[in-house]
Structure 1
Amino acid sequence: MIAVPPPFPRPRSSTALLAPLCCSAAVLAACAGLVESGVRAPQQVPGADPGPAADGSYVAALGATLGGFGVLMTVLLVAGAVATSVRAQRRDLAVLRAVAASPGQVQRIVRAQVLQCLLVVLVPGLLLGRLLGSAALSALTAHGAAPPGTSYRSGWIPLVATLGAVLLVAIAAARWATRPLVRARPAELLTAASTGRRWAGPWRVTTGLLLLGGGLALSVVTATVFEGNPLASATAGPAPIVWACGIAVLGPAVTALVTAPLRLLLPDRGCGVLRSAARRATASRVESAAVLVPVVMAVGTSLGIIGLNSSSAAVGAQGPASAWGENLLVFLVAGCSALHLLNALVEAASLRQWQNAALRTVGARPSWLVGVEAVHTGVLALCGAGLGVAVAASAVLPYQLALTGRTWVPGPASALWVVLALAVLLPLLLATVPAALAVRRPPVEHLATAR
């Protein structure tokens, strides 16, 4: 037997785990509480007008719907966070395998890290979920989507459901993230830790293609089968989520595809910052995909749901209360995507500190390094925003065509510009500010501590 390191991860890798686990527990606890609150809400009064506020059925259904999307977001968010944590420790884990640690020991180390982080954030996450669920129910009551006097309830059933879902996702994510570490030989792991590894296997490629095919099928069915039928929302609603998940699974390949023309269009000489940023985007596909994918998910799902609501309201197929309830889904997806983006940028910044310090020792200017970071992130954000608009259009345009026979989508254009502005400016802010602060330190400090 060999001595293994303490199971708690390094500070940077633990940061990548704590926030996603806490937010996942909070979202799932809030959704489970809404379901119980809707089930226990006052019953409909005989003779009263039917509607969302007649009883708690709409609240329960909305909580279940949000909970389903919350589980999907939890899978993507926690899996990405665990993969980020393992990637930050890949050299340490590869050395452990090289000195005779068994595959089972490596898996237990990572699993212990994830479970310890989950224990740290469990109580704060549940408390935050109670606050979020109570605030959501109060807003639903104020907008006429819940019966007056409905109180927020979160008993042992929502607690067990939340714990079971988060624990199952965390353990599965830990097992999946360590598969390359336990299947390869120690010598291969040491080489891969320095040069990187291929990002995809047959299962990942197959899953991504199936998701993209499912999104295409939903769009086609919406425009053809449900022509003139308001039930078209049943297939149009999930379409942007399925499209975005397919792009997320195939993220590195999609990133290479959308950034390849940039290097071809730039001249061989000149455009130093642009060419360096384009070279970084195409060379580090996994890290670049971690920036592009959250933007695609946030823009695609947010604009898709906003567009579907606008189309439904224009033809009288949706009431104000139902529309406000759907806005909760926009906030859920946008918040989870922003957290995913923050984790990705923090990891990328920490990994590049040593590289930037080494470049500064051979004459690279700090302003040039910050410029490359800004252009690299800005290009990825713009590409992600464009793909997000295409994802939203794949759901909204068939839905509008099915309802009205036209592809013009009613609604305020301001929502489009606000979402796009946030999708581009937020990544730029999160990437350039830490880079600008990092180059103010002497490069020798980074060379001594960044590793």
Structure 2
Amino acid sequence: MTVLALGQVRRTPAAFAGLAVAFLLLVATTTLFGSLFASQATAPEAVRATPVAGPGLMVIAGAFGEIAVLVAFFVVVNAIGFALRRQHRELALLRTIAATPRQVRRLVRVQILVTALAVAVPGALAGVQAARLLLVALRERGMAAPGLRVPMTPLPALIALAITLVVGLAASAVAVRRISRIAPAAALTATTTEHGRTGVLRLLVGACALVGGGLLLRLAATRPADELDKAGQAALLGSLVLLVAVGLTGPLAARALVFVLGAPLRALLPGTGWLAEANLRGYARRLTSAMVPVALLVGLSGTMMIMTRTAEHAAGATGAASDTDVWLRQAELALLTCFAAVSTVNTVIAVTGERRREFALLRLVGATRRQLLRMLTAEALLTTAVGVLLGAGVAALASAAFSTAATGSAMPSVPAEACGWIVVGAAALTVPGILGAGLRAIQGPAAEPAGGGRD
């Protein structure tokens, strides 16, 4: 199984590219904030005692790291799911030729291990370099002591690699559980069908996430005005938990939203518009997988931008200075947006690329490439619209909670132009990604993919 796993990684590197990028981000992020902690912990006592502006390096590293690592974890879990989905047919074939569930799980663990180790060194180097650049920026703004330096120690990188392996192995164990446990004769059928119902356990966990996100937003809203940093972190964490809930309960909301938003497309494009809507509603889990990263991008970016503008207005009303808080939020926004953008691109390409057989069958029954591209365009627009609406809803709730703490009013200050650019950015990542992957998937003769050729 070890040899087979290594052979699959060598033969189909594209199937693991998204996972490798996700692992790289997780290693780099964890190394970054671990290096900042090490900088403070290993500094001489006189340097640590130097007064600085803002909350201090340990607080900044903890607050940034908490959210960034959670988002990176979210991206990794999503990427692992798609990496395994692209191998479902191969794993099913192994089950039909007498591979045991234990052997299948071992094969997947080896793949995770190889992919994580391949990006460990570049991820660690990127994290250390990012820590140095961030520390320089903090020193220039008086938010870190002048004598602080990133220490030359491998400990943060080793901890980051350990965390990445634990996350990867745990997520893969959950993802591979279904395909490794079912009967070999049913394994191939499982690769071509989608269950119509969302599991009770999934809905229960999603409901718990909704409650947890609501409690975090309530905590944010009840923070006093002199604890806006804590209110902001609680609101941002609450928005992330709500986005997890969206991912878990998404198939239910996705079908309803597609039906409503698909009405104009059905009117404008009676054929391809209807087919696009039917595809999205019929494969609600696939739609959820594609729309969740869009919601993540819109929800986190929108929350951060609206909180920043609200904090500026609150500071202006009281005559307080807020340059430090604004800069910190802008830096955090840039980091989180990078993660969400990578997740969006990885996901939409993976979701569309695994539909080669579906496209081939449509071509065999008479659909032209132009018709398929029109259908994919309609699907891309609907997917983007659903993700934007869900992300905007989460951002509205989170920013209202923060605004209540900052100004006493649930009506935040909304930078309309900036929020508009967020929507444009989400569409710019999603629509070309889906169309590009779709264009590649419909190339070549239709008979081979439809008959079970390699993807």
- Report the TM-score, using the length of structure 1 for normalisation: 0.88
Where does 1:335-374 land on structure 2 (aligned, <5 Å)? 335-374=338-377
Which amino acid in structure 2 is aligned with residue 333 of structure 1? L
**What corresponds to 1:271 in structure 2?**
270
CA distance change for structure 1 residues 105 and 210 in 2, over 3 Å: closer, same or farther? Answer: same
Contact 2:373/2:438 (8 A) holds in 1: yes
Distance 1:132 1:199, change over 3 A: farther
Say which SS state the counterpart of residue 410 (structure 2) adopts: coil
Partner-residue secondary structure (3-state), 1:146: coil
Asked whether the equivalents of residues 74 and 169 of structure 1 are also in contact (C-alpha less than 8 Å), the reply is: no
Letter of the 2:340 counterpart: S
Counterpart of 1:38 (choices 40, 45, 52) is 40
Equivalent pair of 2:352/2:434 in contact (CA under 8 Å) = yes
**What is the rounded CA distance, in whole Å, between the counterparts of 1:309 and 1:43 in structure 2?**
34
C-alpha deviations, 1:310-346, integer Å up to 9, x for none?
2223222773223222223222322222222222222
Q: Which amino acid aligns with 2:282?
A: A
- Residue 70 (structure 2) aligns with: 72
Equivalent in the alignment of 1:243: 242
When residues 209 and 300 of structure 1 are mapped into structure 2, their CA distance, relative to the original with a 3 A threshold, is same
Q: Which amino acid aligns with 2:292?
A: V
Structure 1 pair 385–42 and aligned structure 2 pair: CA distance change class (3 A): farther
SS, match of residue 194 in structure 1: coil
Aligned-residue offset at 1:438: 5.3
Q: Deviations over 1:59-95 (max 9, x none)?
A: 2222222222233223322222221121111122122
- In 1, the alpha carbon distance for the partners of 2:83 and 2:329 equals 33
Quick one: which amino acid aligns to residue 106 of structure 1?
Answer: V
Name 1:312's counterpart in structure 2.
311
Per-residue deviation, 1:204: 2.4
Structure 1 residues 260 and 4 mapped into 2: Cα distance closer, same or farther (>3 Å)? farther
- In structure 2, relative to structure 1, the CA distance for the partners of 1:417 and 1:387 (3 Å cut) is same
The one-letter code of the counterpart of 1:111 is: R
Taking the aligned partners of 1:16 and 1:43, their CA distance within structure 2 comes to 43
Q: Structure 2 CA distance, aligned partners of 1:292 and 1:240?
A: 16
Matches within 5 A, 1:21-170: 21-40=23-42, 51-52=53-54, 58-153=56-151, 155-170=153-168
CA separation in 1, counterparts of 2:441 and 2:198? 32
Task: From 314, 321, 325, give the equivalent of 2:324.
Answer: 321
Distance 2:373 2:232 in 1: 45
Query: For residues 152 and 384 of structure 2, what CA distance do their matches in structure 1 show?
Result: 39
User: Which range moves more in the overlay, 206-215 or 246-255?
Assistant: 246-255
State the SS of the aligned residue for 1:195: coil
Is 1:414 aligned with 2:417? yes
1:289, distance to aligned residue in structure 2 (A)? 1.3
Aligned residues: 445
Aligned counterparts of 1:170 and 1:314: Cα–Cα separation in 2: 42
Asked whether the 8 Å contact 1:38–1:58 carries over to 2, the reply is no
Q: Distance in 1 between matches of 2:48 and 2:437?
A: 61
- Is the contact made by 2:293 and 2:340 (CA closer than 8 Å) also made in structure 1? yes
Is structure 2 residue 329 aligned with structure 1 residue 332?
A: no
User: Is the Cα contact below 8 Å between 1:133 and 1:152 reproduced in 2?
Assistant: yes
CA contact (8 A) 1:302 1:330 kept: yes
Q: Report the Cα offset of residue 443 of structure 1.
A: 4.4
Question: What fraction of aligned residue pairs are identical, expressed as a percent?
Answer: 26
Q: 1:289 matched to which residue of 2?
A: 288
Aligned-pair CA distance for 1:174: 1.7
Structure 2 unmatched runs, 5+: none
Q: Does 1:382 align with 2:385?
A: yes
19, 27, 40: which is aligned to 2:21? 19
Quick check: 2:277–2:379 contact (8 Å CA) kept in 1? yes
Task: Provide the rounded CA distance (Å) in 2 between the counterparts of 1:307 and 1:422.
Answer: 17
- In 1, Cα distance between equivalents of 2:200 and 2:439: 40
Contact 2:273 2:378 in 1 (8 A): yes
Q: CA deviation at 1:107?
A: 0.6
Specify the SS of the correspondent of 2:366: coil
1:41–1:147: 8 Å Cα contact kept in structure 2?
no
Cα distance, 1:125 vs structure 2: 1.1
Cα shift at 1:440: 6.0
Render the CA deviation track for 1:37-63: whole Å, top value 9, x for unaligned: 2334576789986523xxxx6222222
Shift of 1:221: 4.4
CA distance in 2, matches of 1:268, 1:306: 36
Q: What's the secondary structure of 1:311's corresponding residue?
A: helix
Give the CA RMSD over aligned residues. Answer: 3.0
State the 1:194 CA deviation.
2.3
- Deviations along 1:392-415, one digit per CA (max 9) or x if unpaired, are 111111332343333332353322
In 2: Cα distance, 1:115 partner to 1:121 partner: 10
Aligned position for 1:258: 257
Give the CA deviation at 1:202. Answer: 3.5
Distance 2:265 2:293 in 1: 27
Structure-2 change in CA distance of 1:367 and 1:143 (3 Å): farther
d(CA) in 2 for partners of 1:69 and 1:404? Answer: 24
Name stretches of at least 5 consecutive residues in structure 1 with no aligned partner: none
The TM-score normalised by the length of structure 2 is 0.87
- Counterpart Cα distance in 2 of 1:46 and 1:283: 59
Q: 1:434 to 1:170 in 2, by over 3 A?
A: closer
The verdict on how the C-alpha distance between 1:218 and 1:283 changes in structure 2, with shifts beyond 3 A counting, is same
CA distance in 1 between counterparts of 2:214 and 2:201 reads 20
Contact 2:52/2:144 (CA < 8 Å) preserved in 1? no
Q: C-alpha separation between the residues in 1 aligned to 2:110 and 2:60?
A: 35
Distance in 1 between the 2:48 and 2:285 partners? 59
The residue type equivalent to 1:88 in the other structure is: R
